[in-house]
């Protein structure tokens, strides 16, 4: 990724700058996918990509093999907020800086070092990778200020496929359509109820409940499950049921209603930096990339 990059300002002080979308359109979806992803996460879809990846990670709990590993480590149950923050920061850094940048490459190396401590099947890696590709695209269509363009979807796909290669994955699908078909087959095999699925899902909901006042904590589960109301296979796999249809419609319609305003107004910092997000585990904003790892690995790696 080129070191010479334009930093944009909001148009008229509050609107999306059309020059960002113009730069994206002028770039190559393969060779320039790192810069395209950077522009998407810093300017066009900062809030949307963060939210969609949270939903994506939750979806991985439907896989009994993925949840089984997460449950055995005990990290979500014992150190849930740190596990959430560490994961968010690592992913955000290599989306923001690419695999070529010093911080992005360090974040990817830290993730690979963590994964090396566990025996993880290639299929499970591929499934998790697919959620990072699919959910932001799907979110932009339903709740974003605009949908990803076909060009942006291709660049997003190419970026994550290269991340997959750099994480040692093999048999990576060459198209989004082929990946979708592969995931359908994968889910038909592994999306079955397991107590570990439910425990990890409930531990994650406990993290989210800590973000809101006590009076609102009872709504956290129904709100999260509203995003999966039409996926009975996933809900059954984590031992959950869809919320009341009226509630689902209210929540999803409210998000869609925001689109009218968000098409015109660029909320939040511009560009959006990794550390602009609330950082509960590291409120000072000071942390070392290599320390973004599960607590139980600290002794293992220091011995």
What is the number of structural domains in the chain? 1
For residue 226, is it within any domain?
A: no
The C-alpha atoms of residue 262 and residue 185 are separated, in whole angstroms, by: 36
DSSP, res 229: T
Handedness of CA 127, 251, 279, 266 (dihedral sign): positive
Using DSSP's 3-state secondary structure scheme, residue 212 falls into coil
Peptide bond into 271 cis (omega under 30): yes
Tally Cβ neighbours within 10 Å of residue 79.
Answer: 18
- How high is the pLDDT of residue 300? 84
Q: Domain for residue 159, yes or no?
A: yes
> Is pTM beyond 0.85 here?
yes
C-alpha distances in angstroms, 223 versus 21, 24, 155, 229?
A: 32, 33, 31, 10
Longest Cα–Cα distance of the chain, Å, equals 55
Give the helix/strand (H/E) hosting 169: none
Does some domain include residue 73? yes
Structural domain of 134: 23-213+268-294
Bridge partners, 15 (sequence order): 11
Interior/surface letters 8-19, b for 16+ CB within 10 angstroms, e for the rest = beeeeeeebbee
Token pair of 209 as six digits: 């409940």
Question: Residue 36's closest CA among 135, 176, 185, 154?
Answer: 154
Give the whole-angstrom CA distance, residue 223 versus residue 220: 5
Is 57 a member of any domain?
A: yes
pLDDT in tens, the chain (303 residues): 655 688 999 999 999 999 999 999 999 999 999 999 999 999 999 999 999 999 999 999 999 999 999 999 998 889 999 999 999 999 999 999 999 999 999 999 999 999 999 999 999 999 999 999 999 999 999 999 999 999 999 999 999 999 999 999 999 999 999 999 999 999 999 999 999 999 999 999 999 999 999 999 999 999 999 999 999 999 999 999 999 999 999 999 999 988 888 888 999 999 999 999 988 999 988 999 999 999 999 878 876
Whole-number CA gyration radius for the chain:
19
């Amino acid at each position: 990724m080129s070191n010479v990059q334009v930093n944009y300002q909001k148009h008229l002080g509050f609107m999306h700058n059309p020059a960002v979308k113009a730069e994206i359109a002028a770039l190559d979806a393969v060779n320039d996918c790192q810069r395209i992803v950077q522009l998407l996460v810093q300017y066009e879809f900062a809030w949307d990509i963060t939210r969609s990846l949270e939903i994506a990670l939750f979806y991985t709990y439907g896989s009994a093999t993925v949840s089984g590993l997460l449950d055995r480590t005990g990290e979500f149950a014992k150190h849930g907020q740190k596990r959430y923050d560490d994961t968010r920061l690592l992913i955000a850094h290599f989306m923001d800086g690419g695999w070529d940048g010093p911080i992005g490459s360090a974040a990817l190396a830290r993730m690979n070092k963590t994964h090396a401590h566990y025996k993880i099947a290639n299929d499970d890696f591929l499934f998790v990778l697919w959620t990072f590709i699919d959910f932001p695209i799907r979110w932009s269509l339903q709740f974003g200020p605009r949908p990803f363009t076909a060009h942006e979807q291709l660049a997003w796909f190419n970026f994550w496929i290269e991340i997959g290669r750099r994480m040692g994955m093999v048999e990576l699908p060459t198209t989004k359509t082929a990946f979708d078909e592969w995931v359908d087959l994968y889910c038909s095999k592994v999306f079955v109820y397991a107590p570990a699925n439910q425990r990890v899902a409930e531990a994650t909901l406990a993290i989210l409940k800590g973000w809101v006042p006590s009076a609102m904590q009872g709504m956290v589960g129904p709100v999260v499950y509203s995003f999966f109301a039409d996926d009975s296979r996933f809900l059954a796999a984590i031992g959950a049921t869809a919320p009341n249809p009226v509630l689902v419609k209210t929540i999803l319609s409210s998000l869609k209603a925001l689109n009218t305003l968000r098409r015109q107004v660029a909320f939040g910092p511009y560009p959006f930096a990794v550390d602009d997000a609330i950082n509960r585990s590291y409120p000072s904003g000071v942390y070392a990339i290599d320390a973004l790892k599960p607590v139980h690995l600290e002794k293992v790696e220091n011995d």
